[in-house]
Structure 1
Amino acid sequence: MIRHKARGLLDRLHTLSLRRTLLLVLLPGLLGLAAVELWLTWRTALDAANAAYDRSLLGAIKAMDANISTASGGLGVELPYRMLEFFELTASGRVYYRVATENGLVEIGNADLPAPPHELVTEWPQFSDAVYYDTPVRIGSYARFIDPPLAGQVGPQRLVIQVAETLESRQAFTRVLVLQALARDVLLVVAAMGAMVLIVGWALRPLQRLRSGVQSRSALDLTPVSTHGIPADVRPLVEAINHHVERNRQQAQAHRQFVDDASHQLRTPLTTLATQVSFALRETDVQEQRRALAAIKQQLDETVRQTNQMLALARADSAAGTEAAAEPVDLNALAQEVARKWWSDARERGLDLGLEPAPQPAWAQAHAALLKEALSNLLHNALRYTPRGGQVTVSVRTQADCVAVMVEDTGPGVTEDEMARLGERFYRASGARLPGTGLGLAIVKSVVERHGGQLRFAPGATGQGLCVSLCLPPMAVAAPAMASSKAPGLP
C-alpha cells in the first residue's frame, strides 16, 4: 500500500511542469540541508562556548588553588569576596566551589556539589555537565597532591578543587551564534531558490522555443524538427518525434501517390467504358450488342483487376507500422498453399506448375497475408507471359544472407537494361504484349521491402525466361521439418 501511494505521488509529480517538479524536489532538499547545517552550527557553537568558558572556569580553579594553604597542618582557603564576584560576573550567573581532600574528610565550600563522573587524573582538569538544585551547571574538577599531607595523614594525599557555574552565559553565546547561522541559512535558501528559478527557466528556454516552433507549424509541414540548440537529454525525444513525423510523411506521400495513380489509371478505362456503353445503347443489332457487352465485360474485368492491384499496392505501402503483428512464417508451407491456388489456372493454360520446397524448414518473421499476395502476383505474371507448354516453378531456398521464395518461368524474359527498372510503378517491359498496369511487381517490391528484404531479378536457369526472388531475412525457429518432396497433386 505504501509503495503504491509513493508511486502515485511520483506519477502526479511527473505530470507537473518541469519547473514545478524541479522546485518541489529541490526545495525539501535545500531545507533538509539547511536543517543539518543548523544542527552542525549548534554543535559547533556549543563546543566553542564550552571551550571558551571552560578556560575561564579553569582560571578560577587555578586562582582558587593559589589561595589554598596547608601550612598550619589543616586546610585553609583565603578567597576574597571580590574574586567570587568577578567569577559570577564572568559567568553571568551563580558560582559554586568546593575544596576537599579526596577522601572527603575535610571540605570547604559547597560540600554537596556533584562528584566528577570519572576518576580524576592528577593535575589534569575535567569538565562535566550536571544539575545542582534543579539548575543545570558546568563543573570543573581538578586534583593535585598535598605536600606536605595534612596532619594525621600517612602517605600521599590529593586535594580536589571544584568550581561550578550556571549556564546562562554559555546559552546566550550559543543562542547568538545559532540565530546568526539561522539568518544566514534562510538568506542562502531564499537566494538559492531565486537562483534555481532563474536557472531552471533559462535551462528550459530551448524547450519553450521548441514548443513555439512546433505550434507555429502548419498542418501540412512534415519537415524534421531541428535539433540545433536542444539539450542533449531532450535530443532523443526530438529525434523520435522526427522519426514519427517522417513515417507520417511517407504515409501521406503514399496516399497522395495512390490518389494520383488512381485518377491517372482509372480515367482511361472509365472513359472507354462510357464509350462502349454508349455504342451498345445505340446499336440495334442483337449480335453487335452482345459483342459490345462482351467488350464491356472484358474492360470491366481489366478495370477491376487494375483497381484491386492499386488497392493492394496501397495496403502494402501503408503496412509500415505493422511490424509488431509479424509472426514466424514457414515459407515452404506458404509457397505450397499459394501454388495450390494457381494449379487449376496453370492447367487451363497448358503450363507445368511445380513446387520445390527447401529440404529444411525455412522460417521468416513476416506477415503471411502480404507474402501470399506478393507471391500470387508473381505467379499471375509468370502464368500470363509463359507460352503454352512452358514451365513455371516455385522454389524455396535457404541462401547465405536470406531465405528466398523464387518464381522461375520459361517465358520471353526481359533484357538486362530493362531488368534494372522492374518493380517501378506502371513500368512495363518492351516485350509485354498483354494488357496490364505495371503494378504487379511494384506490389511485390513494396511488400518485400516492408519486411526488410530485397526483390531480385535474374534470367532463368537455362538462360530463358525470368527468375524473381523474394529474399527475406532468415529466422531461426524450432519447428517440424517440412516435406522436401513436391506437394501432392502438383505436377
Structure 2
Amino acid sequence: MRLSHWLGGSIRRTLLVVLVPGMLLVFSAELWLAWRTASEAADAAYDRSLLGAVKSIDSSISTASGGLGVELPYRMLEFFELTANGQVYYRIATEDGLVEIGSSDLPLAPSPLQSGKPQFHEGVYFGEPVRVGSYARELSTPLAGQPGPQRVVIQVAETLEARTDFRRSLVLQSVARDFLLVAVASTLFGLAIAWAMRPLARLRQDVEARPPQDLTPMDSEGVPAEVLPLVGAINHHIGRNREQAEARRRFIDDASHQLRTPLTTLATQVAFAQREDDPAALREVMDNIRQQLDETIRQTNQMLSLAKADSAAPEPELLDAVVLAEDLMRRWWPMAREQGVDLGLQAPMATLPFRGEPGLLKEALSNLLHNAIRHGGAGCHVTLAVGHSEDRVRFSVVDNGPGLPPDELARAGERFFRGRQGPLPGSGLGLAIARTVAQRHGGEMRVSAGPEGRGLEVTMELASAGTSARDPG
C-alpha cells in the first residue's frame, strides 16, 4: 500500500505522520545539544578547579637553593580530591626534563605550551581516562648550571568520575524537561486538532442527519474559511442532484402522460375489435391497432434512449463519422424510397475520426432522419451532410419539407414539444434526444430553417478526434 493512499484516509493520521517524526528529530537535536552544553559546562567548572590546583602548586615553587624546590599544598590537594570525587595526580618538571617531581608519565599536552596560558586535554593514565591541566612559565632564576631562560611545566590530572556524574545529571535534567515539554506540546497539539476538526465533524453530522429527499444547500454560517470551499462544493453537488431529480420527476410525469393516451387508445381499439363481426372492419381495426402499437413501441424506445443519454456512464469509442453516416444511409434508404423521399449523403472522401458512443449517436441521427422523412412527405429531398472543423465533427440533416414556423424554432428540442404537426402522431422526443446526445459528447445541437428558408436544418456538432465524451454528471 502506497504511503499517499494510507495517509489519504485521515487528516489526523497525516498530521501525526508528518509532525511526530519532526518532533522526534527536534528532540534528538535538543538531546545532542544538551549533552554538548553539559559537557562544556562540566569542563568549564572542573577545569577552573584544575587551574586553581596548578596555580597553588606554582606559587609553592622555589629556585632559591639553586635547584627546583616545591612545597606541595597537601591540604589543597586533599580538598581537590574530595571535590573531584576521584584520584588526583601532579607533575612538576623543567621543560628539558632534567628535574621532575610527581607522576612522571602523565600525558603530555598535545600541542606546545605557551607561557602563562593553561591548556586542558584528556588522556589515559594507568588505563584510566583523566583530564589534565598543563601550565608553563619561565623561572625567575634558572637552575644552577643552566644558561639562559628556563621554563617549568606544571601538570595536574584528575579522573573523570565527578565530571561524568555532573554531565549526566545535567543531561537527565534536560531530558526530563524536554520530555515534559514534548508531552505537553503533544497534548495541546491533539486538543488543537480535535478542536479544529469540530467543524468537519459537525458538517458530517449535518449531512448524515439529512433525509434523502432534502436537497437544500448546506448552511455555511460559522464554517471556517478553510472548510468553505468544501461546503461550496457540497452545495454545488446538491444543486446538480436537485436539478437531476427535478428533471427525472418531470420526465416521469411527462412519460406517464405520454404513454397513458396511446395505451388508452389501444384498449379502446381492442374492445371495439372484440365487438366487431365484419371481417373487413375487423382487419381495419387490427391495422390501426398495429400502427398504434408500433408508435407506442417507438415512443417507449425514445424515452428509454433519452433516459440513457441523461444518466448512463460514458462509454466512448474511436469512430469514423463517414462510416457512421454510410451505415445510417443504408438503414434508412428503404423507408425513404417507400415514402417517396429522395435521401442523399454529402460526406468528404476521407476519414473523420472522433470519440463517441455509437449506440446513442445512431439513435439521435435516426430520430432526425425519421422526422425529416416522415414530415417531409413524398417528393421531399433529405440530405445527411457530414463535415468538420478544427476541433469539431458536424452532422446535419437538411430537408425541404414544410419545416417549422419561426415562433416554434426556438422551442425545437424541448422534451415532448410537437408543435403544429397536423394529423401525424409523435412523441416530441426526437430533437430532445439529439440535443442531449450532442451535449453528452461535448457539443451542441442547432435548429434553423433550411436553404432558401424552406424546410428544416438540424445540426449536431460533436467534439472531434482526441476529445472524449463528456461526463454527464
Give the TM-score, by structure 1 length.
0.87
Amino acid at match of 2:459: S
> Matches of 1:224 and 1:360 in 2, distance apart?
51
> Matches of 2:38 and 2:404 in 1, distance apart?
97
> Matches of 1:350 and 1:256 in 2, distance apart?
40
Amino acid at match of 2:104: A
1:80-139 Cα distance to aligned partner (Å, 9 max, x none): 323323433443443221101122221112223222233323332111112333443211
Give the structure 2 partner of residue 139 of structure 1.
132
Give the structure 2 partner of residue 84 of structure 1.
77
Give the structure 2 partner of residue 278 of structure 1.
271
1:8-39 Cα distance to aligned partner (Å, 9 max, x none): 67755655x54355446544543443233122
> Matches of 1:364 and 1:229 in 2, distance apart?
49
Q: How much has 1:146 moved relative to structure 2?
A: 2.9
RMSD (CA atoms):
2.6
1:458 has 2:448 as partner: yes
Give the structure 1 partner of residue 340 of structure 2.
350
Structure 2: which 5+ residue stretches go unaligned?
Answer: 468-473
1:151 has 2:141 as partner: no
Q: How much has 1:274 moved relative to structure 2?
A: 1.3
Distance 1:51 1:276, change over 3 A: same
Structure 1: which 5+ residue stretches go unaligned?
Answer: 1-6, 478-491
Q: Does the CA-based 8 Å contact 1:251-1:318 persist in structure 2?
A: no
Distance 1:154 1:99, change over 3 A: same
Identify the match of residue 124 of structure 1 among 89, 103, 117. Answer: 117
1:174 has 2:164 as partner: no
Give the structure 2 partner of residue 58 of structure 1.
51
Identify the match of residue 195 of structure 1 among 185, 188, 200. Answer: 188
1:427-453 Cα distance to aligned partner (Å, 9 max, x none): 122254411111111111111111121
1:341 has 2:326 as partner: no
1:471 has 2:464 as partner: no
> Matches of 1:109 and 1:53 in 2, distance apart?
21
Distance 1:192 1:357, change over 3 A: same
- Name the % identity: 58
1:51-89 Cα distance to aligned partner (Å, 9 max, x none): 122122222212221221112221111223233234334
Write the mapping of 1:235-384 to structure 2, written as runs, cut at 5 A. Answer: 248-319=241-312, 321-322=313-314, 325-358=315-348, 361-384=351-374
Look up the SS of the partner of 1:462 in the other structure. helix
> Matches of 2:188 and 2:142 in 1, distance apart?
71
Amino acid at match of 1:329: L
Distance 1:431 1:191, change over 3 A: same
> Matches of 1:243 and 1:360 in 2, distance apart?
43
Q: How much has 1:246 moved relative to structure 2?
A: 5.2
> Matches of 2:38 and 2:466 in 1, distance apart?
73
> Matches of 2:270 and 2:330 in 1, distance apart?
38
Q: Does the CA-based 8 Å contact 2:57-2:73 persist in structure 1?
A: no
Q: Does the CA-based 8 Å contact 2:254-2:416 persist in structure 1?
A: no
> Matches of 1:344 and 1:24 in 2, distance apart?
71
Q: Does the CA-based 8 Å contact 1:60-1:87 persist in structure 2?
A: yes
> Matches of 1:72 and 1:167 in 2, distance apart?
37
Q: How much has 1:334 moved relative to structure 2?
A: 1.2
Give the structure 1 partner of residue 388 of structure 2.
398
Residues matched between the structures, number = 467
Q: How much has 1:249 moved relative to structure 2?
A: 4.5
Amino acid at match of 2:446: R
1:304-344 Cα distance to aligned partner (Å, 9 max, x none): 1211221121122223x31xx21332222211211121111
Q: How much has 1:473 moved relative to structure 2?
A: 2.6
1:407-441 Cα distance to aligned partner (Å, 9 max, x none): 11010011221100001111122254411111111
Q: How much has 1:463 moved relative to structure 2?
A: 2.0
Q: Does the CA-based 8 Å contact 2:416-2:428 persist in structure 1?
A: yes
Look up the SS of the partner of 2:135 in the other structure. strand
Q: Does the CA-based 8 Å contact 1:382-1:392 persist in structure 2?
A: yes
1:155-204 Cα distance to aligned partner (Å, 9 max, x none): 44321110112334323332332232122112111211110111010111
> Matches of 1:58 and 1:341 in 2, distance apart?
112
1:113 has 2:106 as partner: yes
> Matches of 1:148 and 1:176 in 2, distance apart?
47
Distance 1:20 1:401, change over 3 A: closer
> Matches of 2:279 and 2:311 in 1, distance apart?
47
> Matches of 1:386 and 1:133 in 2, distance apart?
120
Give the structure 1 partner of residue 471 of structure 2.
none
Look up the SS of the partner of 2:297 in the other structure. helix
Q: Which moved more, 1:50-59 or 1:218-227?
A: 218-227
> Matches of 2:199 and 2:100 in 1, distance apart?
81
Give the TM-score, by structure 2 length.
0.90
Amino acid at match of 1:203: A
